[in-house]
Amino acid sequence: MKKLTKNNHSFKKSKKGIYKKVAVIGCGYVGLTSGICLANIGHRVICVDNDETKIKSLISGKIPIYEPGLEDLMKKVTSIKTGPRLEFSNSLEYAIKESEIIFVAVGTPSNPDGSADLSYVENVARTIALNIDEYKLVVEKSTVPVQTADWIKTTINRYKKNNIEFDVASNPEFLREGSAVKDFMFPDRIVIGVETERAKKLMLELYEPIKAEKIVVDTKSSELIKHASNSFLAMKISFINAVANVCERTGADIEKVALGMGLDKRIGRSFLNAGIGYGGSCFPKDVKAFIWISQNIGYDFGLLKEVEKVNQTQRKLFIKKIEETLWILKDKKIGVLGLAFKPDTDDIRESPAIDVIKILKEKGAKLKVYDPKAMEKFKVIFPDLEYCKNVYQVVENSDCLIFLTEWDEFKKINFKKVKQIMSQAIILDGRNMFSPEKMKKLGFVYKSIGRE
């Protein structure tokens, strides 16, 4: 394979002097953020991806995703005078040979049955086996099912042609899109799953510059911590959405209920925002995979099936609410604000906006849409929507305005102006962004989730 690297320095020096030689395989959200941040804390990092266009773009200083602060950090790290610490390559073999610690951050997409497709992980394990010429620590960074570390170990042993030693560790990431750099540099905890003292020592040295609690466990527990954490957070969201549905039917206010619950330290206030449900590349996939793994080992994790069901229902209930307000949707002009699965990202994977827009289109509504960052990606799935340059273009002559993502930009909207240029002053807010009282005072028919 052709090698495509930014430079070929020997990386003899590091500012902090304790650097490790690291390879990060896979330049998606997780790999790229981890690679850039590991370089930022003093390590020499080679980020690898087999997508040549992506690597070329990275070499030219552009990151292919929208992630606040990441591009600037990359520029800072690549321009450090004491010797470049970050390199990009499309040669997996080169990265393996040059590194002691190899992070595997390739995709683990869902199979149709909900299980994780681990073929990319297996492929990397085989390539490591064929190129191992001195001790390597292989670290799972992608979210993988429990026991994947064992499989990586078995695969490397099976394909390896020498007696060189290696270890496999698990080090799940807890980065959120939109605040990934901050989450990496200031994590709540760092989870390290290892089976040997050597691997433990290396991992602790690697993360030494980051001041956070480090939990060292076995690889299986570490793998489970990740799936259980994401599933628990998804459960929190579905729980509060279910409570919101009860609030709507009784006249209670979900914001007050969530506050009253969240102040109990055992429950906590975060992830209790009711809305049209969770999306993204992680929660839907990870909940599915956790259900599948449990099933596979003979345990029916019914609770998580219900979490999924509530999440799907939330989108349908929102459509029902629009219909209850507008009656007939055919030929109604509906303005849509927000397409990304959450603010501060251009990511639309599993975004509730996809389902909502699909159904509205099927029902014959005329849609004008706007999102600060996600429109290019949305155009690939829905090329025939009317994409607007700003909020007010969406609003103009609309019969109804719906909010699907809580971007900060929307919080600054001039609603007096909105009221003047809308055809009908009707707003349905899927993210509880505004005060119902204020909106009603301004003269809007305003409906949100779980409150009057």
Q: In the structure encoding, which two tokens stand for residue 266, read together?
A: 């055992």
Minimum separation from the CB atom of position 272 to ligand UGA (A):
6
Nearer to ligand UGA, 291 or 422 (CB): 291
Any contact of residue 279 with ligand UGA (CB under 6 A)? yes
Nearer to ligand UGA, 177 or 255 (CB): 177
Any contact of residue 356 with ligand UGA (CB under 6 A)? no
Q: In the structure encoding, which two tokens stand for residue 269, read together?
A: 């206030």
Judging by beta carbons within 10 Å of its beta carbon (0-12, 13-18, 19+), is residue 130 exposed, middle or buried? middle
Q: In the structure encoding, which two tokens stand for residue 48, read together?
A: 């690898």
Among 272, 293, 367, 449, binds ligand UGA (CB under 6 A): 272
> Is the distance from CB of 390 to CB of 368 less than 8 angstroms?
no
Any contact of residue 280 with ligand UGA (CB under 6 A)? yes
* Cα separations in angstroms, 406 against 138, 257, 340: 39, 20, 9
> Is the distance from CB of 365 to CB of 330 less than 8 angstroms?
yes
Q: Is 282 a catalytic residue?
A: yes
Among 77, 128, 169, 175, binds ligand UGA (CB under 6 A): 175
Instruction: Give the containing element (helix H, strand E) for 216.
Output: strand 213-217
Minimum separation from the CB atom of position 65 to ligand UGA (A):
12
Nearer to ligand UGA, 101 or 225 (CB): 225
Quickly count: other Cβ atoms within 10 Å of residue 11's Cβ.
Answer: 18
Catalytic residue among 27, 247, 282, 388: 282
Minimum separation from the CB atom of position 31 to ligand UGA (A):
11
Among 49, 98, 177, 248, binds ligand UGA (CB under 6 A): 177
Window 330-349: residues binding ligand UGA (CB under 6 A): 341-342
Euclidean distance between CA atoms 14 and 205, whole angstroms: 14
Any contact of residue 176 with ligand UGA (CB under 6 A)? yes
Site string for ligand UGA, 235-254 (x = CB under 6 A): --x-----------------
Cβ contacts of 92 within 8 Å, gap of 6 or more: 1, 25, 48, 50, 124, 127, 131
Any contact of residue 182 with ligand UGA (CB under 6 A)? no
Size of interface with ligand UGA, in residues (CB under 6 A): 20
Site string for ligand UGA, 203-242 (x = CB under 6 A): ---------------------------x--x---x-----
Q: Of 124, 170, 111, which is closest to residue 146 (Cα–Cα)?
A: 170
Sole residue written with tokens 């002691």: 100
Q: In the structure encoding, which two tokens stand for residue 160, read together?
A: 């390896």
Nearer to ligand UGA, 94 or 318 (CB): 318
Nearer to ligand UGA, 271 or 392 (CB): 271
Q: Of 139, 111, 131, 107, which is closest to residue 120 (Cα–Cα)?
A: 107
Any contact of residue 449 with ligand UGA (CB under 6 A)? no
Any contact of residue 275 with ligand UGA (CB under 6 A)? yes
Nearer to ligand UGA, 97 or 349 (CB): 349
* Cα separations in angstroms, 301 against 181, 230, 233, 288, 323: 33, 15, 16, 10, 34
Binding-site ranges for ligand UGA (CB under 6 A): 143, 173-177, 230, 233, 237, 271-273, 275, 278-280, 282-283, 341-342
| Enzyme catalytic residues | 282
